[in-house]
Structure 1
Amino acid sequence: MTKSTFTRELRLLTPEHYQNVFQQAHRAGSPHFTIIARNNTLSHPRLGLAVPKKQIKTAVGRNRFKRLARESFRLKQHQLPNKDFVVIAKKSAQDLSNDDVFKLFEKLWHRLSRPYRG
């Protein structure tokens, strides 16, 4: 069985990493959050999170959303293609139940795993 951890090399760490994803990305979105993806040259996917204070006001809400995003990514990482992903939260994300957030992530991960034709 493959390990499902969320180590440092699975994260986007620097502003340059984020800029790189935003430059030529394809996206999958919902009314609650958007995932932007771009191919990387590594042998694994990486995750970055953008959860603005303007969108989710409370630290508790932002941290909950980030925790759910990381957990969803951690569980799916071995099925995901070698891409850099940035999850961007929207206001309505805080109103979803944990279950709804996971279902939505599942759908968007699947959409972004298909070959990109653009």
Structure 2
Amino acid sequence: MNNLKEINFSARLKDLRKNKKLSQTELANFLGITQANVSRYEKGDQLPDFDTLVKLSQKFDVSLDDLVFSTGFTKEELQFIDSTKKISAEELLNDYELVVDGVAATDKEIEEAIRMIKFNRFQS
């Protein structure tokens, strides 16, 4: 399941703040920082230091892992994903037909998609 985790801190922070009905200024005051810093966190322009992350996790009653590496999936969705059958790229090419928008993907399209996935993983 680790391949599902991605840093999605900015969106997660904004969602948590809005769910608690806090303004950026109110959150900034709690953290002892400026509203501009909170704005930069939520835009993804800056990441907070460790102490600030700890304060945020305590404020929103979430683990650091959930705060920083939220997948956006619910617990039930993650359980479903974990229970689904995983197939290799070779199985996809040889044993299955991938259909996108009602049209079967060609081997060339699938191979291109696999190359793009590998490239994106290499860039991370």
TM bucket normalised to smaller: under 0.3
Q: Greater share of strand residues, 1 or 2?
A: 1
| TM-score of the aligned structures, taking structure 1 as reference length | 0.24
Of the two structures, which has the highest relative contact order with CA contacts closer than 8 Å and spacing of 6 or more? 1
| TM-score of the aligned structures, taking structure 2 as reference length | 0.23
Q: Greater share of helix residues, 1 or 2?
A: 2
